[in-house]
Structures are given as C-alpha cells and as structure tokens.
C-alpha cells in the first residue's frame, strides 16, 4: 500500500470517528501541560541570568537604608546619562565617616577605583549575586547561559528524535500516536520533563557558575523533545481539517508557558510511532476507544485498511534527500529556507529576550506582553495564510517585524505606551513569520524528503536561537544596535522569501519534479503531471 493510500485511509477513519471530539480534547489538554511547562523551562534563564541595576557600595557614606540613588551619590560615583556607573567610584580621600552626608570634597574626582561590594536598585536576585558576576567584564557570562540553553536544546533534539522515531521510519503521518510502549513520543515527553525537573532542582543549589552552566545544559537537553513530541501528538490525532487549528492552539500553550515563567519571576523576585513497529492491533484498539469516547461507530472493515502498511528502509529518505539536493532549484530553495529559519529564530527569541532590557516599563510586564501577543498572532496566522497566501504572509510579516524594530528606536522612551505598542507589533509579526515558515517549508518540498528538509531547516534555525542571547553584548557598544540587527536581517529575509513558490491551495508535491514545478506556469505543470501519471501507469 502506498503512503498516499495509507494517509487517505487514516484521514477517512479520523473523520469518521470525529475530527476533534471528546477523546481528542482530553488528549490535547494532557499534551498542553508538558508543552506549557517546556516553554517555562526554555525561557527561565531570561530571569535567572538577567543583569541587574546596581552601584558601588561606599561604606563611609552609606546610611542604614542604603538607597540606590541618594543625593550625595553624584559626588561619589561617576554618572552616564544620569545613571550611576556600576563598578567605579571616585577615590575617597577623607578620614571621617560621613554616614549619609558625603560631599564632593570627600572624594578625589580625578581618580576612580573599582569596588567589590554593591548596592542594588531593587530586591531582584539572579546569578549575578549568586556567583559574583557583577560588572561589564562578566556580562558575557550572563549571556552565555542563554546560548548554553540553546546548545542543550539543539543537541537534545537529536536524541529525542531518535528515541521517539526509533527503529524503522515510515512516511505516514498520524498513526504513530496510538502506541508508545517502549520509547516513542509519550515516553520521551514524560521522562524528558521528569529528568528536566530533577536537573532544575539540582541547579538551584550548585556552588559554582561552571556547575550551574552544566545543569543548564542538561536541563535544556532533556526537555528539548517535549515541545515537538507534544505538537506531533496533538496534531496527529485530529482530522485533516482541524490540524492547523490544533497546531496553533499548541503554539498558544508555548506562549502561556512564557507568561507563567515571567509571572512567577515577577512574584518571586528572589530565587506517530507504533505503525513503524508493525503494531497495528494496538493502533486499532486506540482508534476503537477514540470512536467510543466520541460517540461514533467504527467498523472493522474500515480498520482493515491499516493491515497492509508496509515498512520502508531508513536509508530510503536519506538517499532521496541527497538526490533532491542535486536539483539546483531545490538546493537554492533549501539554502534560502535555512537562512529564513535562522532569521525567524533570531528575531522571535531575540525580541523576547531584549524585552527585559527595555528602558520603558516593568521588565516582567514587558516580557509577559511579548509572550501574550503570540496568542492573537497564532490565531490570526490561520486567516493570514489563507487570505494572503504563504509567500506573501511570510515576507510581509518579516518586513513588518523589521520595520517595527527600526520605528521603536526613534520613539522616545518616555512615550511608554507608543514605544511598547510598536515593539509588540514587531513580536506579533515575528510570531506570524515563525508559524508561517513552518507551513511553507512543509509544502514546497517532496513528500519522500519532507521530514528531512523540515529537520534540516529547523536545525539551522537553532543557530539563530544560539546567537540571540548574545545581543545584550552589542547594547554595550550602542544601545539600539540589537534592534538594528533584528531589523536588518528580518527585512533581508522578507525580500528573499519572495523567491519561494506560492503553495496556497496546491497539491503537495510527491516527487522532486513536482516540487521543482511548483513555481512554473500552470500549463507546463499540467504537462508534467500528465507525463508523471503516464509513467506511473507504465
């Protein structure tokens, strides 16, 4: 039985038992729980490794309350744009103790010295105090935590993928949900979160920065496959018409996880698998249960359509992937796609991370709003893709995101509502571009290599995710520089996206030739399809 026939049989069964009935809703809710928790773990480093506002402690001048910016501080500490330097103070040359009443005569304002103790602006805590990472020379150690988290996610995805897709690989889409007895998606998802929780707990008591980084890596690595497993489990169990909606709702769960993390940090400011195994009977049992819970009837004759599923060799898709890359059209499309994925991850996560450094507003509220805006973006994405098409949606959202970043630079920081609204518009557009690139990528490559192309593009996207946490280092050179970088690459990606073929309402390409001809005139495409059909008959 061919892949298309298998998928058609399964889709027909899912439609018969209910596209999105009680059983699917029950499973969907269960799946969303680890998805939300995964997102919470994935962005927690934004707050555990955030930089803080502090200044040098000057014992001879401090009063009992230790204010961050007392009236006498201008005499004791150099200021830049009204903000006291974090790690420098003027040399104290007085022999008297002037608690709370130091004057300029008590300091040699021509000389400065480094300090070793600090007064913080708020009661917030992070690894800055825990591991003595104050001052600009240690800023890279804070940004490195985010990169290590991304590296952990990157490496963990490979292991999670092998375990969830263990042994023989088959090009079918949905029935891999129904049995997960050895490894599989459910086991990888559940155990990943359990071990992640253990690593997270141990990380809180690590005595050194290096051990903290090690646990940050392990934490991210073990949780890496949770989101993908949850996404696939949710989408695979519903009928064809509900898959885009279900995928969007799962992505909303990702946003809720980010909101949960930011809210917690704000409140507490101080610390489809079984078919590959040939286990058809177990899949049938789950389908019967699904039909029963949804109040539908499912005949054994309908289920018999699954009995003839044939296994394919794992090398089959890899060989086809290499063959597909020999096509200049698909090779250039793939290179362009990899760049766009990197930009998506870089801008999407970069805007989230940068939100806690904005001059306007509360850093926790800013982060919550940048996560919250993902929900309407995910919901509207379905309509945008259908109305404007895939290519224009991705291109337009890229350009809108880049334009918003540029506009934000020129809005005065005291216009909090206006500046934050423009910033959120950029994150809204970045969310649409990230979701849309998933859809576009899945529709413009051949069926036999679709999984490989998606995996490769996603892998390259992780490089953008690794770079994003380092953007605060550029802010030390020039404050708007991170936003300039986000804007520049987003606009470039928006222009390059126009080189992709439009895939709205097209038949998904099954062969390399069909994928190459997506962008060709309809007459030429029709001739190619007729020739392919003729060859199949022969």
CATH class of the domain at 1-51+136-312: mainly alpha
Domain boundaries, the chain: 1-51+136-312, 54-121, 313-538
Residue 163 has a pLDDT of 61
CA 99 to chain centre: 50
Dmax over CA atoms of the chain, in Å, equals 101
pTM: 0.71
DSSP character at residue 276: G
Residue 3 has a pLDDT of 45
Residue 416 has a pLDDT of 86
Asked whether the domain spanning 313-538 has the same topology as the one spanning 1-51+136-312, the reply is yes
Give the DSSP H/E element, type plus range, for residue 465: helix 450-467
Q: What are phi and psi of 390, to 5 degrees?
A: -70, -50
SS3 category, 120: strand
For the chain, the C-alpha Rg in angstroms (whole number) is 27
Q: Split the chain (538 residues) into runs of 10 and give each run's mean pLDDT.
A: 46 59 71 76 84 88 81 88 89 74 84 90 88 88 91 76 47 41 61 82 88 91 73 63 66 77 73 46 66 66 57 54 87 94 94 83 88 90 85 95 95 87 95 87 79 77 89 87 95 95 81 82 50 46
Residue 251 has a pLDDT of 72
- The CATH code of the domain at 313-538 is 1.20.1250.20
- Cα dihedral sign for 328, 332, 333, 338? positive
- Cα dihedral sign for 29, 33, 38, 40? positive
Q: How many whole angstroms separate alpha carbon 23 and alpha carbon 283? A: 15
- By CB atoms closer than 10 A (0-12, 13-18, 19+), residue 352 is buried
Find out whether 137 and 201 touch, Cβ atoms under 8 Å.
no
Using alpha carbons, select from 189, 213, 192, 188 the residue that is nearest to residue 202.
Answer: 213
Angle at 505 between CA 254 and CA 24, to 5 degrees: 40
Q: How many CB atoms lie within 10 A of CB 519?
A: 16
CA atoms within 13 A on the CB side of 294: 25
Structure tokens at 69: 């910016």
């Amino acid at each position: 039985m061919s892949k298309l026939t298998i998928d058609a049989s399964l889709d027909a069964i899912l439609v018969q038992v209910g596209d999105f009935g009680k059983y699917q809703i029950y499973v969907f809710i269960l799946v969303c729980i680890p998805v939300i928790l995964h997102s919470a773990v994935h962005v927690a480093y934004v707050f555990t490794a955030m930089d803080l506002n502090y200044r040098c402690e000057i014992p001879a001048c401090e009063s009992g309350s230790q204010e961050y910016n007392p009236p006498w501080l201008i005499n004791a500490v150099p200021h830049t744009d009204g903000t006291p330097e974090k790690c420098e103070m003027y040399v104290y040359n007085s022999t008297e103790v002037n608690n709370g009443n130091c004057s300029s005569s008590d300091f040699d304002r021509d000389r400065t010295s480094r300090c070793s103790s600090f007064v913080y602006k708020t009661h917030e805590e992070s690894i800055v105090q825990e591991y003595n990472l104050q001052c600009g020379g240690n800023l890279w150690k804070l940004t490195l935590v985010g990169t290590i988290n991304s590296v952990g996610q990157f490496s963990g995805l490979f292991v999670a993928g092998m375990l969830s897709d263990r042994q023989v690989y088959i090009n079918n889409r949905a029935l891999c949900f129904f049995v997960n007895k050895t490894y599989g998606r459910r086991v990888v998802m559940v155990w990943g979160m359990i071990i992640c929780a253990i690593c997270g707990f141990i990380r809180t008591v690590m005595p050194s920065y290096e051990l903290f980084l090690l646990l940050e890596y392990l934490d991210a690595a073990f949780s890496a496959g949770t989101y993908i497993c949850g996404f696939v489990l949710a989408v695979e169990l519903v009928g064809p018409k509900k898959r885009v909606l279900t995928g969007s709702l799962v992505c909303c769960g990702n946003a809720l996880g980010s909101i949960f993390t930011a809210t917690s940090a704000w409140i507490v400011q101080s610390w489809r698998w079984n078919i590959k195994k040939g286990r058809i009977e177990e899949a049938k049992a789950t389908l019967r249960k699904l039909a029963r819970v949804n109040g539908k009837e499912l005949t054994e004759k309908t289920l018999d359509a699954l009995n003839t599923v044939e296994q394919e060799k794992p090398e089959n898709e890899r060989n086809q992937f290499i063959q597909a890359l020999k096509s200049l059209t698909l090779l250039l499309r793939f290179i362009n796609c990899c760049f766009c994925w990197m930009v998506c991850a870089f801008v999407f996560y970069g805007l989230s991370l940068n939100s806690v450094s904005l001059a306007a507003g509360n850093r926790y509220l800013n982060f919550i709003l940048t996560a919250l805006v993902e929900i309407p973006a995910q919901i509207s994405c379905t309509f945008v893709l259908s109305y404007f098409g895939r290519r224009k949606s991705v291109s337009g959202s890229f350009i809108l995101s880049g334009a918003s970043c540029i506009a934000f630079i020129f809005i005065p920081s005291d216009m909090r509502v206006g500046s934050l609204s423009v910033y959120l518009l950029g994150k809204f557009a970045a969310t649409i571009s990230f979701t849309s690139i998933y859809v576009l990528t899945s529709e413009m490559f051949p069926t036999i290599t679709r999984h490989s192309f998606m995996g490769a593009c996603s892998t390259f996207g992780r490089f953008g995710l690794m770079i994003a946490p380092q953007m605060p280092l550029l802010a030390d050179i020039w404050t708007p520089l991170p936003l300039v970088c986000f804007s520049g690459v987003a606009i470039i990606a928006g222009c390059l996206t126009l080189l992709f073929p439009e895939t709205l309402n097209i038949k998904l390409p099954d062969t390399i030739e069909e994928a190459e001809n997506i962008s060709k005139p309809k007459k030429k495409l029709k001739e190619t399809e007729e020739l392919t059909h003729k060859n199949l008959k022969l």
